[in-house]
């Protein structure tokens, strides 16, 4: 029987890809392990191997086709003795071989963010260019490395591999191995080495492959980096950036899916930022590298491939401690950061349909936090909902709600609702993962609740 | 080449060789199927295949006794199959279904079986090393004569906690075999790029732990070394290190473009050193089995794997209430 070769999923976050190149042609005999095609995923170009043996009967998707959805039939494989007519007969569209599971995590992440309205970060009429969060991070780091010889990047697979998530792609070529340093898998050790080098005058950027692995290094982040300036009576500190993807990716289970924002937010001596858009990513990155303190820079893997407008100017920075009102409104204030913003903004759209006007605040800096902007907004709307993927007890929202209660109690017309991820380790199963994460509907419901609708 | 080796090794029964062949083939076919299901979107997240490394775990399991323990990293499917866990339960965990060993809540990297003394599937590189010593600590404490196999990679071998563990394991004579599965790469980082130590097992000498290097593509050599290690541990002399030289054929995980090594390098390993082909050759040249016998085994294994795949597709997703269970004991 002819077998349909389906477009494979080749990464945890891939939904579609480009069929870059066929390495076989119709009539070729292949056996399992042979490379059939090159496929570009959201992260890399991958070779796609045959699993079954047979003859390529028909190629259904031409080389160079972009946006081929996972599980689309791309070719037909004939078994011994079959002829091409079998191929034609069976080349009808593949029925959905993948279960809902395959798509669930993507849906759970909320809709893709689109453009951002006017901004305090750049003047009206500034020339803009589109780029992904990934490119923005890279550009921010590269610009600072060009500007300042003491800045270097260190971490696992940042160099020759071009970055586990391709953030540092091309940087080894440009800056060389002295400044783009591949480390063994020794987080505690290299974080300590980086802190020492910062104490001695360098400006390290430490990439954690993900922040889950920074737990191996957390002693140096807190005891060595955050406290040295204080303990030395101001003589020396650790001007450096610890960065990497934070929070849940897709289907990677409990040990690889955790939001650490609230953890680091607690530590005096650390600054903590978490960008949402590409403009945030670039502007905050440049500020982080220049800052004379240890900065925790929390990225999000799901956001890496999303595109946004970024000002096309020489030296674009975003100050720390300044939140951004991404959308103005009058009925309820939604405060969020990082990927949480995608839920917040999508909810605001939905609420608008029901005549509820939501103001959406993108925190960007978590510590020091721009509580003034939050309070001013709450004094206007009299209601607040906070949105984050982390856990409820000791959350960012819990802190915000405390501040509002102490500073704007009389302005509140409803208790603050602090929306978080569920109070459970992240499950692997697709349906459970979806329920562990926030949804846009939860944000909408919370806003309706505080506005008594 | 391998036939000569077989002749040189006495006391290997045809039955034993067949057993190794069958177990290694089960792992390989199972992993190929897992790769296929991943491509179809039935398995999500990270999925690290064991193809190429089959002889390591099959050889060492042959040296283990009932009740011995094992713990490993995220590259764990082979270990689970080799210690007798049900392929259906493993595959259903990969697809995140209730029939999986962790009811779908753990996934590829996090599976456990109390019954088979398999203590996981751990996602944080090297975390399983002190855990393995801890299992051995408990066995010594309880005086039950058990030995633990703590498996970790060449990349993991650079983590500091490994050396803290070595020190205490030797200090307290813990019955643990540290198995370094040196497949030459940690993601894209080759061993040569991550350390100047000429060998990984010799680092144990600094703590007084004996060890040896083993050809991990030769299941009989692995088994023999495993027996030496186990004898050392079981006799109360403390830990032992095996640095098993092996090779992974596939990328680090499903999303690894593997640009750090050449296609030729991989092909050469497959052609010249494949652990399954080596045993196959021994069976055929030693006239322990005919082509037809092996075909029959292939068919049998294929059926087991297809059943597992079928089960993993039809086993239901966990009930939503499962989100809230197993967070605390005695809930
Ligand atoms: C503490 C920690 N750092 C980084 C990672 C990301 N990571 C997962 S596997 C891996 C490579 C490990 O290589 P090795 O120990 O040789 O094992 P192999 O994958 O070859 O079996 C890395 C860097 C992690 N999971 N945990
Ligand atoms: Mg390795």
Handedness of CA A381, A387, A391, A395 (dihedral sign): negative
- Could you tell me the two tokens for A101? 């599971």
Task: Please state the rounded mean pLDDT for residues A210-231.
Answer: 97
Which stretches of B103-218 are DSSP H helices? Answer: 128-142, 160-171, 191-194
Q: What is the pLDDT of residue A41?
A: 84
Contacts of B111 in chain A (CB under 8 A): none
- Could you tell me the two tokens for B48? 């690290």
Q: What is the pLDDT of residue A83?
A: 67
Task: Please state the rounded mean pLDDT for residues A236-263.
Answer: 97
Residue B114 lies in a domain: yes
Record: contact B317-A429, CB cut-off 8 A: yes
Q: What is the pLDDT of residue A218?
A: 98
Among A161, A215, A432, select the one facing B188 at the smallest CB separation.
A161
Checking if the pLDDT of A102 tops 80, the result is: no
Q: Which of B96, B180, B277 best probes binding to A when mutated, by most A CB atoms within 10 angstroms?
A: B96
Domain that holds residue B118: 14-313
Checking if the pLDDT of A177 tops 70, the result is: yes
Pairing state between β B118-122 and B69-73: parallel
Q: Is A101 on the interface with B (CB under 8 A)?
A: yes
Residue B159 lies in a domain: yes
Is residue A135 lining ligand 1, measured as CB closer than 6 Å?
no
Is A60:A89 a contact under the CB 8 Å cutoff? no
Checking if the pLDDT of B185 tops 70, the result is: yes
**Tens digit of each residue's pLDDT (9 = 90 or more) over A282-315:** 999 999 999 999 999 999 999 999 999 999 999 9
Which stretches of chain B are DSSP H helices? Answer: 2-8, 14-39, 54-63, 77-82, 87-94, 128-142, 160-171, 191-194, 219-234, 263-273, 275-285, 291-314
Record: contact A105-B44, CB cut-off 8 A: yes
Average pLDDT of the residues of chain B: 95
Q: What is the pLDDT of residue A46?
A: 86
Between these two residues, A112 and B71, which has the higher pLDDT value?
Answer: B71
Contacts 24+ apart (CB under 8 A), A348-352: A350/A440, A350/A444, A351/A444, A351/A447, A351/A448
How many domains does chain B fold into? Answer: 1
Residues of A classed as catalytic: 187, 256
Checking if the pLDDT of A100 tops 50, the result is: no
Residue B186 lies in a domain: yes
Residue B65 lies in a domain: yes
Among chain A residues, CA nearest to B160: A186
Angstrom distance (rounded) from CA A363 to CA A165: 25
Residue B309 lies in a domain: yes
Q: Is A424 on the interface with B (CB under 8 A)?
A: yes
Q: Is A213 on the interface with B (CB under 8 A)?
A: yes
Angstrom distance (rounded) from CA B33 to CA B92: 12
Task: Please state the rounded mean pLDDT for residues B241-269.
Answer: 95
Contacts of B261 in chain A (CB under 8 A): none
Q: Is A107 on the interface with B (CB under 8 A)?
A: no
Q: CA gyration radius for chain A?
A: 24
Among B35, B105, B155, select the one facing A432 at the smallest CB separation.
B105
Is A310:A150 a contact under the CB 8 Å cutoff? no
Is A451:A414 a contact under the CB 8 Å cutoff? yes
Among B107, B158, B159, select the one facing A428 at the smallest CB separation.
B107
Angstrom distance (rounded) from CA A37 to CA A46: 8
Q: What is the pLDDT of residue A175?
A: 98
**Tens digit of each residue's pLDDT (9 = 90 or more) over B94-122:** 999 999 999 999 999 999 999 999 999 99
Q: What is the pLDDT of residue A113?
A: 41
Q: What is the CATH number of the domain that holds B249?
A: 3.40.50.970
Checking if the pLDDT of A71 tops 60, the result is: yes
Residue B8 lies in a domain: no
Record: contact A46-B257, CB cut-off 8 A: yes
| Closest-CA residue to B137 (of B226, B45, B239, B40) | B239
**Tens digit of each residue's pLDDT (9 = 90 or more) over A103-153:** 333 334 444 444 445 577 899 899 999 999 999 999 999 999 999 999 999
Residue B319 lies in a domain: no
Q: Which domains does chain A have, with CATH numbers?
A: 3-98 (2.40.50.100), 109-114+322-450 (3.40.50.920), 128-311 (3.40.50.970)
Q: What is the pLDDT of residue B8?
A: 46
B285 CA: distance to closest CA in chain A (Å): 25
Nearest ligand to the CA of B245 is: 2
As residues whose CB is below 5 A from the ion ligand 2, the structure lists B 153-154, 183, 186
Backbone dihedral angles phi then psi of residue A289, each to the nearest 5 degrees: -65, -35
Is B113:B85 a contact under the CB 8 Å cutoff? yes
Contacts of B270 in chain A (CB under 8 A): 33
Query: How far apart are the CA of A282 and the centre of ligand 1, in A?
Result: 29
Q: Which of B76, B121, B125 to mutate to test the pocket of ligand 1 (most atoms within 8 A of CB)?
A: B125
Residue B330 lies in a domain: no
pTM of the model: 0.89
């Amino acid at each position: 029987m002819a077998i349909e070769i389906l477009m494979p999923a080749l990464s945890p976050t891939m939904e579609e890809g480009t069929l870059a190149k066929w390495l076989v042609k119709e009539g070729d005999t292949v056996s399992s392990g042979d490379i059939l095609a090159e496929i570009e995923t959201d992260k890399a170009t991958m070779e796609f191997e045959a699993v079954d043996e047979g003859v390529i009967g028909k190629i259904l998707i031409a080389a160079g086709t972009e946006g081929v959805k996972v599980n689309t039939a791309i070719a037909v494989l004939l078994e011994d003795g079959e002829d091409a007519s079998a191929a034609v007969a069976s080349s009808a569209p593949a029925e959905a071989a993948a279960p809902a599971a395959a798509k669930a995590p993507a849906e759970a992440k909320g809709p893709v963010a689109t453009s951002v309205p006017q901004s305090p970060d750049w003047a009206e009429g500034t020339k803009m260019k589109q780029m992904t969060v990934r490119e923005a991070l890279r550009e921010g780091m590269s610009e600072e490395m060009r500007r300042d010889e003491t800045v270097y990047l260190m971490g696992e697979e940042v160099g020759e591999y071009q970055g586990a998530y391709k953030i540092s792609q091309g940087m080894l070529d440009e800056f060389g191995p002295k400044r783009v340093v591949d480390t063994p898998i020794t987080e505690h050790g290299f974080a300590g080495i980086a802190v020492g080098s910062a104490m001695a005058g360098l400006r390290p950027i430490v990439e954690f492959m993900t922040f889950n692995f920074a737990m191996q290094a957390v002693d140096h982040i807190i005891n060595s980096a955050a406290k040295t300036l204080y303990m030395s009576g101001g003589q020396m500190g650790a001007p450096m950036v610890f960065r990497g993807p934070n929070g849940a990716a897709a289907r990677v289970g409990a040990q690889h899916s955790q939001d650490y924002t609230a953890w680091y937010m607690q530590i005096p001596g650390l600054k903590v930022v978490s960008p949402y858009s590409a403009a945030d990513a670039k502007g905050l990155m440049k500020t982080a590298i220049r800052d004379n303190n240890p900065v925790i820079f929390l990225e999000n893997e799901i956001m890496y491939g999303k595109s946004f407008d970024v000002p096309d100017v020489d030296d674009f920075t975003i100050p720390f401690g300044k939140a951004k009102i991404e959308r103005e409104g009058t009925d309820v204030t939604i405060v969020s950061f990082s990927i949480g913003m995608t839920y917040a903004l999508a909810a605001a759209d939905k609420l608008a349909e029901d005549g509820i006007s939501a103001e959406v605040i993108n925190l960007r800096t978590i510590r020091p936090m721009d509580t003034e902007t939050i309070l001013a907004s709450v004094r206007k709307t009299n209601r607040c909902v906070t949105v984050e993927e982390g856990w409820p007890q000791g959350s960012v929202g819990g802190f915000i709600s405390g501040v509002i209660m102490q500073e704007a109690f009389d302005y509140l017309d409803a208790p603050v609702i602090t929306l978080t991820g569920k109070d459970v380790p992240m499950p692997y199963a697709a349906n459970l993962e979806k329920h562990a994460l926030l949804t846009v509907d939860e944000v909408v419901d919370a806003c309706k609740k505080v506005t008594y609708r | 080449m391998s036939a000569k080796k077989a002749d040189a090794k006495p006391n290997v029964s045809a039955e034993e060789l067949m057993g190794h062949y069958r177990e290694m083939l089960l792992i390989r076919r199972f992993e190929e199927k897992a790769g296929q299901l991943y491509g179809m979107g039935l398995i999500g997240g990270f999925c690290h295949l064991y193809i190429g490394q089959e002889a390591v775990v099959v050889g060492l399991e042959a040296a283990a006794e009932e009740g011995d323990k094992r713990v490993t990293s995220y590259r764990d499917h082979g270990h689970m199959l080799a210690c007798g866990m049900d392929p259906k339960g493993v595959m259903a965990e990969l697809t995140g279904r209730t029939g999986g060993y962790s009811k779908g809540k753990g996934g590829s990297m996090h599976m456990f079986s109390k019954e088979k003394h398999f203590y996981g599937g751990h996602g944080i590189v090297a975390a399983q090393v002190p855990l393995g010593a801890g299992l051995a600590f408990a066995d010594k404490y309880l005086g039950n004569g058990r030995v633990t196999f703590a498996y970790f990679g060449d990349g993991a071998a650079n983590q500091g906690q490994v050396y803290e563990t070595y020190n205490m394991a030797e200090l307290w004579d813990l019955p643990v075999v540290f198995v370094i599965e040196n497949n030459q790469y940690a993601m894209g980082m080759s061993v040569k790029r991550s350390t100047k130590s000429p060998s990984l097992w010799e680092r144990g000498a600094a703590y007084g732990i004996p060890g040896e290097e083993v050809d991990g593509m030769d299941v009989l050599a692995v088994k023999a070394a495993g027996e030496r290690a186990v004898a050392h541990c079981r006799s109360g002399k403390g830990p032992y290190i095996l640095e098993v030289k092996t090779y992974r054929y596939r990328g680090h995980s499903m999303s690894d473009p593997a640009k750090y090594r050449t296609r030729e390098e991989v092909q050469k390993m497959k052609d010249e050193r494949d652990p399954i082909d080596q045993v196959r050759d021994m069976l055929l040249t030693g006239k322990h089995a005919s082509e037809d016998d092996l075909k029959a085994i292939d068919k049998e294994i294929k059926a087991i794997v297809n059943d597992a795949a079928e089960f993993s597709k039809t086993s239901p997703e966990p009930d939503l209430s499962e989100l809230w269970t197993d967070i605390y004991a005695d809930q």
